[in-house]
Amino acid sequence: MAKEALLIVDMSNDFVHDEGSLTAGRAAQAIVPYIVDLADRMVRDGQIVAVCMDEHQEGDPHFRDWPPHNVKGTWGQQLYGDLATWYDRERDRDTVMYVPKASYNAFSGTDLAVRLRAFGVQRVHIVGVCTDICDFLTAGGAYDAGFATVVHRAGCATFTDQGELFLEHMQRCFHTEIV
């Protein structure tokens, strides 16, 4: 069986918790059980799970466009709720990895593609926030890196009204399977 990977994108306190600085709020909180269940299934099936997390420094130029968020080492940058519990339980597995990222696309400026290829991954599943920013651009990065892409509608959320439009764009632009 070909290896697959689940990419959990930006499910931090700053993006999910009600008090997060750039939160998708209840929409993001609602997808947590789905993501935990999917991550459990991937691990049980011997697949790869990568927690891809925004990680910025104080004063990052990125903050010209967005409020400060996911500053390295802060509460806001930590995984949210049950996802943190899941990661703490599974983090020592060879098939569970943490990938810090400084841009929207989890493949840009990271070793994610190399690490996935080392496991023989051919297809990536994407969940997390925000559908129309980091999920969209990560799907594009995966496509550019030669991976087939699957996005789980029930595992994505955003703070805008553009989620469905960007799912359609992923399908058209990157041949992403939407499930």
List, for residues 37-61, the tens digit of each pLDDT value: 999 999 999 999 999 999 999 999 9
Contact residues for 92 (Cβ-Cβ < 8 A; gap 6+): none
Q: Is it true that the peptide bond before 52 is cis, omega within 30 degrees of 0?
A: no
Q: Does domain 3-178 have CATH number 3.40.50.850?
A: yes
Summarised one tens digit per residue, pLDDT across range 120-149 is 999 999 999 999 999 999 999 999 999 999
Query: CA–CA separation, 108 vs 47, rounded Å?
Result: 22
Domain boundaries, the chain: 3-178
pTM above 0.95, yes or no: yes
Give the burial class of 27: count Cβ atoms within 10 A of its Cβ; 0-12 exposed, 13-18 middle, 19 or more buried: middle
Q: Supply the pLDDT for residue 79.
A: 98
**What pLDDT score does 1 carry?**
54
Cβ–Cβ < 8 Å for 36, 83: yes
What is residue 143's predicted lDDT score, i.e. its pLDDT? 98
On whether the CB atoms of residues 99 and 52 are closer than 8 A, the answer is yes
